[in-house]
């Protein structure tokens, strides 16, 4: 399987969601439910003041993460899944949504937690470096970054391992790995600002 050379644009995702409202079965898959439970269990703090979820999709993990945050900013590049995320999280006053395409667009503020679940491998190497700079600028002192990536075959610009490793390499002097788990289908990295 050949890899795409460039960062996948928002219209790639919008086309997927136009064909299937939940193309990766976030709401119904046992794999996703288990991965979300492990992601939340890996968070080093019980609660976070301000959190940022990049690539919130239809908001399944967003709804769960919101219970651990005073304020949660959830962003996605495509409008269709974002509309479903808003519907799914309706009534959660601590959650705000925005359509943004990282790393070119970025929300204002400083965050205690930044979650990148299944998103970095959609970027090419140059955009991963830009993303790392954005995260560094927005991460609070002793803030946490969580990376989760599928490690199976895809045609994305990067593999799950390449995505996580290149992101961590870009921040190597400024973060430390405080947690790591490898499952048959994915890896989970927990990082903390030095």
Mean predicted lDDT score pLDDT of the chain: 97
| pLDDT average, residue stretch 102-112 | 98
Q: pLDDT grade, residue 183 (50/70/90)?
A: very high
In a domain, 138, yes or no: yes
With CA atoms as reference, report the closest residue to 39 among 28, 50, 53.
53
Mean pLDDT of 167-179: 96
CA distances from 116 to 18, 19, 39, 58, 89 (A): 23, 24, 11, 15, 19
2 occurs within a structural domain = no
Average confidence (pLDDT) over 84-102 = 98
The answer to the question of residue 72 being in a domain is yes
Q: Which residues of 119-129 are buried (b: 16+ CB within 10 A; e: fewer)?
A: bbbbbbeebbb
**Structural domain count of the chain:** 1
What was the pLDDT predicted at 12?
97
Would the pLDDT of 46 be above 90? yes
Model confidence at 85: pLDDT above 80: yes
Whether the pTM exceeds 0.95: the reply is yes
Confidence of residue 1 (pLDDT cuts 50, 70, 90): confident
5 located within any domain = no
pLDDT of 96 higher than 80: yes
Q: Could you tell me what percent of the chain has a pLDDT over 70?
A: 100
Q: Quick check: 175 and 168 in contact, CB under 8 A?
A: yes
Q: Answer whether residue 4 is part of any domain.
A: no
The CA-based angle 151-88-21, given to 5 degrees, is 55
**CB neighbours (10 Å) of residue 69?**
23
- Residue 107 — pLDDT band, cuts 50, 70, 90? very high
Assess if residue 88 is contained within a domain.
yes
Which of helix, strand or coil describes residue 111? strand
Name the 3-class secondary structure at 47: coil
Q: Could you tell me which residues come within 8 angstroms of residue 125 by beta carbon, excluding any fewer than 6 positions away?
A: 157, 158, 166
Find the mean pLDDT for residues 3-9: 96
pLDDT, one tens digit per residue, over 119-162 is: 999 999 999 999 999 999 999 999 999 999 999 999 999 999 99
Closest CA to 22 of 71, 60, 49: 60
CATH number at residue 79: 3.40.50.150
- Classify residue 190 by its DSSP letter: E
Q: Is residue 109, in this structure, part of any structural domain at all? A: yes
Measured from the Cβ of residue 181, the count of other Cβ atoms closer than 10 Å reads 14
| Cα–Cα dist 156/15, whole Å | 16
> What residue numbers bound the domain in which 189 lies?
10-193
Classified as helix, coil or strand, 93 is coil
């Amino acid at each position: 399987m050949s890899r795409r050379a460039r960062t996948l644009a928002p219209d790639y995702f919008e086309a997927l969601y136009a064909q299937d409202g939940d193309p990766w079965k976030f709401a119904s898959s046992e794999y996703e439910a288990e991965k979300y439970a492990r992601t939340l269990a890996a968070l080093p703090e019980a609660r976070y003041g301000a959190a940022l979820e990049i690539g919130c999709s239809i908001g399944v993990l967003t709804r769960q993460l919101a219970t651990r945050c005073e304020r949660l900013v959830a962003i996605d590049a495509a409008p269709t899944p974002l509309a479903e995320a808003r519907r799914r999280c309706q009534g959660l006053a601590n959650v705000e949504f925005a359509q943004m395409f990282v790393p070119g667009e970025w929300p204002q503020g400083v965050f205690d937690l930044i979650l990148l679940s299944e998103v970095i491998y959609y970027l090419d190497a140059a955009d991963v470096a830009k993303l790392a700079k954005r995260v560094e600028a927005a991460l609070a002192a002793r803030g946490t970054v969580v990376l989760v990536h599928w490690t199976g075959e895809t045609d994305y610009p990067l593999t799950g391992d390449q995505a996580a490793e290149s992101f961590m390499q870009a921040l190597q002097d400024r973060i430390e790995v405080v947690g790591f788990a490898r499952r048959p289908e994915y890896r989970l990295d927990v990082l903390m600002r030095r």
